[in-house]
Amino acid sequence: MMHIPSKDTQIIDDSARAILKTNDRGGYTVPNGRVYPFQWNWDSAFVALGFANFNRDRAWLEIETLFAAQWDDGFLPHIVFWQDDSGYFPGASVWDAHENPATSGITQPPIAASMVRWLWDSGPKSERETKRMAALYPKVLKWHRWFARYRDPEGRGLVVATHPWETGRDNSPEWDQPASRVDISGIGPYERRDTSHLEPHVRPTKLDYDRYLAIVQFGREHCWDHDIIARTGPFRVADVGMTMILLRANRDLLALAEALGRRQDSAEIKAWIEKSRAGIDWLWNDETGAFCSRDLIDGRSSAMITSASFLSFYAGVGTEKQRQSLIAHLDRIERKINWMLPSLDPDHEAFDPMRYWRGPCWAVVTFLVARGLLDEGESAWAERLRHDTAALIRDTGFYEAFCPISGRGTGGDQFSWTAAMWLFWAGKA
Ligand code: GLC
């Protein structure tokens, strides 16, 4: 039976489409016009799914534009500075990556392969779309080869993040301890722009920013040599989020390789998947009963349950016992707050329901977790996550994130990926 959206839903659908159109800069979409005026890596991948709702051509273009900024060695930057804009700091000159277009020197969660697969699978598989998929495929493969080559220095099958911004969960308390050893004595004065757009209490602290900049300085001083950065940089953490996302992305890339008859590539990708499956247990913290990020410099587990811990369902990993433990955590968390899924365990002392990645609910991560729960047969949980995300957007608007207790919006509004998640998932009751 055809799904007929209610009038109310139609109005929200229209607003979501209007946000994507307003934030469209012609070929790429800014996450938010004021706070984030450039192209962001994983935002664009999510945004493509939103465009697929009303303009498939534009959806493909979003990812194609992102890959137009890929470096020769396969690296895909976290920001592409297609045009100047003084409203954001640190801009292109601070990164000094000597690329054209100008880019940052760090990457972001490798979710693009999964979005390319979703796009292609959900479409007509016409000759035109298959050609676009086939043209993107070698670029995505090259990016994944870059991860295999540079981001697993200990050969564990995990992803090492070299900057908190790479994880996409900028100020998660998981990074507090690993970042505390970063030397901030040489950063000099600088002026943040984010706090002139938004209230400082919903943003990362000054100390967080000092550390972010000191790590950027290290990369710049090493001319963005990713081999050196991943082996000797001041911040090196095996991130549970990037690891789970890459594992799933490799499974999706494998499906594309098979569809294209790329036998040799398939064998290479399968080997990455096996290695990650075998290595992931190193992130399991038995005392916490969850997958947690782990510092590569001192080997310590963060012992923190964040929304990324639940991405194991999305990656399709974990024993029955591990899954049960995670579901028990969902049960416990759900009783503490009103809207799922908070970015940090509300029982953790660092929980701060309005401050960015230290508590608020983010539609994109909630979507990935819900998708994983659905795939793993936990459909009631998947629906609860979808329902809560829809309620937050319906009642509050298209905010960057939401307070899991009051439901208030936090961060920027008119946010592209929140609009995309409504169109692709949350609004589809
Ligand atoms: C923040 C988020 C990151 C996102 C970016 C643009 O830095 O933490 O995940 O990609 O904003 O929206």
Kindly report the average pLDDT of the chain as a whole number. 97
Tell which one of 40, 307, 357, 368 to mutate to probe ligand 1, the residue whose CB is within 8 A of the most ligand atoms.
Answer: 40
Q: What is the pLDDT of residue 88?
A: 94
C-alpha–C-alpha distance, residues 324 and 343, integer Å: 20
Residue with tokens 């080559």: 149
Q: How far is the CA of 260 from the centre of ligand 1 (A)?
A: 33
- Domain-located, residue 21: yes
Q: Give residue 1's pLDDT band: very low, low, confident or very high (50, 70, 90).
A: very low
Q: Specify the ligand 1 atom closest to the Cα of 108.
A: 10
Percent of the chain scored above 70 by pLDDT? 98
Instruction: Examine the pLDDT at 2 and tell me if it is beyond 90.
Output: no
In the numeric block, the tokens 């901030």 are attached to 184
Q: Is the CB of 170 under 6 A from ligand 1?
A: yes
Report pLDDT digits (tens) over 320-353.
999 999 999 999 999 999 999 999 999 999 999 9
Please tell me if the CB atom of residue 152 comes closer than 6 angstroms to any atom of ligand 1: no
How many angstroms is it from 325 CA to the middle of ligand 1?
29
**pTM attached to this predicted model:** 0.97
β-strands 160-161, 401-402: how paired?
unpaired
Give the distance (Å) from ligand 1 centre to CA of residue 166: 9
CB 209 less than 6 A from any atom of ligand 1: no
Q: Whose CA is nearest to atom 4 of ligand 1?
A: 168
Nearest to 296 by CA among 200, 174, 405, 207: 174
User: What is the distance between the alpha carbons of residues 253 and 378, in angstroms, rounded to a whole number?
Assistant: 25
Decide if pLDDT at 143 tops 80.
yes
Q: What is the pLDDT of residue 429?
A: 80
Query: Among the atoms of ligand 1, which is closest to the Cα of residue 41?
Result: 10
DSSP assignment string, 366-407: HHHHHHHHHHTT-HHHHHHHHHHHHHHHHHH-S-SEE-TTT-
> What is the number of structural domains in the chain?
1
Residue 128, helix vs strand vs coil = helix
The structure tokens 């399709």 sit at 316
287 CB neighbour count, 10 Å cutoff:
8
Separation of alpha carbons 111 and 417, rounded Å: 13
Domain assignment present for residue 211? The answer is yes
- Residue 19, pLDDT > 80, answer yes
203 falls within a domain: yes
Please state the rounded mean pLDDT for residues 85-91. 94
Residue in the block written with tokens 């640190």: 90
Within a domain: 336: yes
- Residue position matching structure tokens 């508590």: 359
The pLDDT tens digits for 270-297 are 999 999 999 999 999 999 999 999 999 9
Q: Which domain holds residue 188?
A: 9-426
Q: What is the DSSP string of 293-325?
A: -EETTT--B----BGGGGHHHHHT---HHHHHH
* Token pair of 8 as six digits: 């109310």
Residue 79 corresponds to which tokens in the numbers above? 């920001």
Q: Are 427 and 51 in contact (CB under 8 A)?
A: no
Pairing mode, strands 284-285 and 237-238:
unpaired
Angle made by CA atoms 328, 329, 335, in degrees to the nearest 5: 95
pLDDT tens digits, 211-248: 999 999 999 999 999 999 999 999 999 999 999 999 99
- CATH number of the domain to which 14 belongs: 1.50.10.10
323 in any annotated domain: yes
Residue 3 resides in a domain = no
Task: State whether the beta carbon of 164 lies less than 6 angstroms from ligand 1.
Answer: no
249: buried, middle or exposed (CB in 10 Å: 19+, 13-18, 0-12)?
buried
Asked whether the beta carbons of 221 and 85 are under 8 A apart, the reply is: no
What pLDDT is stored for residue 58 in this prediction? 98
| Cα gap 402→424, rounded to integer Å | 19
pLDDT at 7: 61
Atom 2 of ligand 1, residue of closest alpha carbon: 168
CA distance 179 to 187: 15
Nearest to 409 by CA among 32, 25, 20: 32
Testing ligand 1's pocket by substitution, the residue of 34, 35, 38, 43 carrying the most ligand atoms inside 8 A of its CB is 43
Is residue 231 a contact partner of residue 296, using CB atoms and an 8 Å limit? no
Query: At 5, is the pLDDT very low, low, confident or very high (cuts 50, 70, 90)?
Result: low
Structure tokens at 147: 């991860």
90 lines ligand 1 (CB under 6 A): no
pLDDT exceeds cutoff 80 at 4: no
Q: Cβ-count burial of 192 within 10 angstroms (0-12 exposed, 13-18 middle, 19+ buried)? A: middle
The CB of 295 under 6 Å from ligand 1? The reply is no
Span from the CA of 417 to the centroid of ligand 1 (angstroms): 10
What residue owns the CA closest to ligand 1's atom 12?
A: 31
**Is the CB of residue 166 below 6 angstroms from any atom belonging to ligand 1?**
no
CA of 184 to the centre of ligand 1 (A): 23
Asked if residue 262 is part of any domain, the answer here is yes
Span 369-380, pLDDT tens digits? 999 999 999 999
Residues composing the chain: 429
Asked if residue 303 belongs to a domain, the reply is: yes
Task: Please choose, from the candidates 160, 162, 152, the residue with its C-alpha nearest in 3D space to the C-alpha of residue 182.
Answer: 162
Expressed in angstroms and rounded, the spacing between residue 404 Cα and the centre of ligand 1 is: 19
Residue matched to tokens 């701060």? 352
Active site residues: 170, 400
Tokens of 182: 């970063």
